Structure 1
Amino acid sequence: MDLGIAGKRAVIIGGSRGLGYAVCEALASEGVDLVVFARDRLRLDACRQALRREHGTTVDVCAGDLSKDEDVSRLADVAAQGQGAQILILNTPRPPSPMRDFLDETEQARWDAAYQHQLHGALLVLRTLTPLVARSGWGRVIAITSASVKQPMPRHAISTIFRAGVQAALKHLAMEVAEQGVTVNAVAPATIVTPTFETFHNLGERIAKVPLKRAGKPGELAATVAFLASEHAGFISGQTIQVDGGATLALC
């Protein structure tokens, strides 16, 4: 299927590895030019070289911390160059490890660190980059959150609470930019294979709870994001799409 977005330009937050990199690959394979933002400059350079080699797309990179105003402003300057950007993919870092239940989250430093990168940084990116996306009268804003925002999972308290805040912001944003031709959606994954997935102490238990009885693949999540970024998804906005193997039973 031709997604109709060849020649568009996308900003991908946290795009140098894991799910973010899978999204970069999915969009690059559709002919989308990329601006990839992450903290590790060396990893970003490797990401740019691999994407150019495999997909022939134009890739700009920007190293920085999404919780810092000056870094996000610098990203906006990069994204505004040339044709600007029409697609924004928000992919925030994981919460502090080990993950804990709510009543066990008694260390203020863990709450502060997670707030900065999972909520404050997310809101900063959305406020700074969405006006750029909306300039052309066509745009897509997609956040990768978590299935736990609909159905809380054990030991995911910090992740659930702050990502639910991101979801609330997306609801407001979807209404505010709709008349500018911008759709706003979330993709909510769970039990997807990533570099950190194998470190979970309860890996077998988590897979056993998935109705499909397997872990998801990064490409499956990325394909969902790419579809929401496409011309075909132009009448989908203000929605959360679960990518969790049926673990969240949300049909209604």
Structure 2
Amino acid sequence: MDLGIAGKLALVTASSGGMGRNIAHSLAAEGANVVLFARSADKLQAVAEEIEKKHGVKAVAVAGSMLETADVRRLAGTLKELGGPDIVVLVTGRPPNPLRDTLDENDESRWTEAYQTQLWAVVQVMNAVAPLMLPRGWGRIIAVTSASAKEPMALHALSTVFRSGVAAYMKGLSKEIGHTGITINCVGPALIDTSHRTGKSAYTAEQTKHRESLTPLGRMGTQEELCGVIAFLASRQAGFVNGSTIQVEGGMGNSLF
């Protein structure tokens, strides 16, 4: 199926590795040109070269932090020079480690870090980038949150609170600017295999077995499956999906909606 995004310009944050890198590849495979934004200049440039070589599209690396106003403004300047983004995929950092029970989350610095990394980073990028999209008459904005934003999970208090905040922010914005032709949605993953980061699983065999048992499918989700959902939300065909959070967690949750 032709997703109708060939030649579009897509921004992917946190794209020097991991999930962000994989998302950038999935959009580039559909013919989208990509702007990569992350802190590590060397890694980011390597991903840009890798994408151009593999997919034959334009890939531009912009090194910087989602938390630094000057960096975000520089990113917006680059996007404006390129004609403005059509697609924005917002990937943010993880909450502080180690994960803790809710009542053990009593360290203010951990709450501050989680707020800045998971919620404020999204707001700051959107404040700078979304205005560039408004005159274009078409656009797709997708934030990667977590399944815990919809159905809280043990040891995920920080993620639940601030990724829920992202979902609420995106829902409100979708109502305000939907008339411009821009759709705004979230993707809430869980139980996605992350072995691509190190070449081996981050979990012991026992932990992996437990995680696999949490979904009726009896397995972990793949990066390809997660990226496929994001690519669809970025597509022409997803034009009537707006203000939604799509769970990618293999049926782990018990909520009907």
TM-score normalized with structure 1 length: 0.96
Does the 8 Å contact 2:151/2:255 carry over to 1? no
Q: Which residue of 1 aligns with 2:169?
A: 169
Q: Which residue of 2 aligns with 1:25?
A: 25
Q: Which residue of 2 aligns with 1:50?
A: 50
- CA apart distance, 1:55: 0.4
Q: 1:248 aligns with which of 234, 242, 253?
A: 253
Range with greater deviation from structure 2 (3-12 or 187-196): 187-196
What is the identity, as a one-letter code, of the residue corresponding to 2:93?
P
Q: Which residue of 2 aligns with 1:227?
A: 232
SS at match of 2:3: coil
Q: Distance in 2 between matches of 1:159 and 1:63?
A: 25
| Match status 1:178 vs 2:178 | yes
Does the 8 Å contact 1:10/1:32 carry over to 2? yes
Range with greater deviation from structure 2 (118-127 or 232-241): 118-127
Q: Distance in 1 between matches of 2:22 and 2:101?
A: 29
Unaligned runs of 5+ in 2: none
| Match status 1:60 vs 2:60 | yes
- CA apart distance, 1:111: 1.2
Q: Which residue of 1 aligns with 2:134?
A: 134
Deviations 1:152-186 (A, max 9, x none): 11111111110001011001100111111100000
- CA apart distance, 1:206: 1.9
Deviations 1:9-50 (A, max 9, x none): 011011121111111111001110000101111110110111
Does the 8 Å contact 2:6/2:30 carry over to 1? yes
Q: Distance in 2 between matches of 1:209 and 1:153?
A: 12
Q: 1:236 aligns with which of 233, 238, 241?
A: 241
- CA apart distance, 1:198: 3.1
- CA apart distance, 1:134: 2.1
- CA apart distance, 1:200: 4.5
Q: Which residue of 2 aligns with 1:199?
A: 202
SS at match of 2:201: helix
Q: Distance in 2 between matches of 1:102 and 1:71?
A: 33
Does the 8 Å contact 1:12/1:34 carry over to 2? yes
RMSD: 1.4
SS at match of 1:198: coil
Unaligned runs of 5+ in 1: none
Q: Which residue of 2 aligns with 1:125?
A: 125
Does the 8 Å contact 1:133/1:140 carry over to 2? no
Number of residue pairs aligned between Structure 1 and Structure 2: 252
Q: Which residue of 1 aligns with 2:155?
A: 155
| Match status 1:212 vs 2:217 | yes
Q: Distance in 2 between matches of 1:81 and 1:203?
A: 46
Does the 8 Å contact 2:44/2:63 carry over to 1? yes
Q: Distance in 2 between matches of 1:241 and 1:74?
A: 31
Deviations 1:36-93 (A, max 9, x none): 1011111101101110111011001111110111111111111111322111100011
TM-score normalized with structure 2 length: 0.94
SS at match of 1:185: strand
Q: Which residue of 2 aligns with 1:7?
A: 7
Does the 8 Å contact 1:90/1:122 carry over to 2? yes
Does the 8 Å contact 2:133/2:139 carry over to 1? yes
Q: Distance in 2 between matches of 1:39 and 1:242?
A: 28
Q: Distance in 1 between matches of 2:32 and 2:170?
A: 23
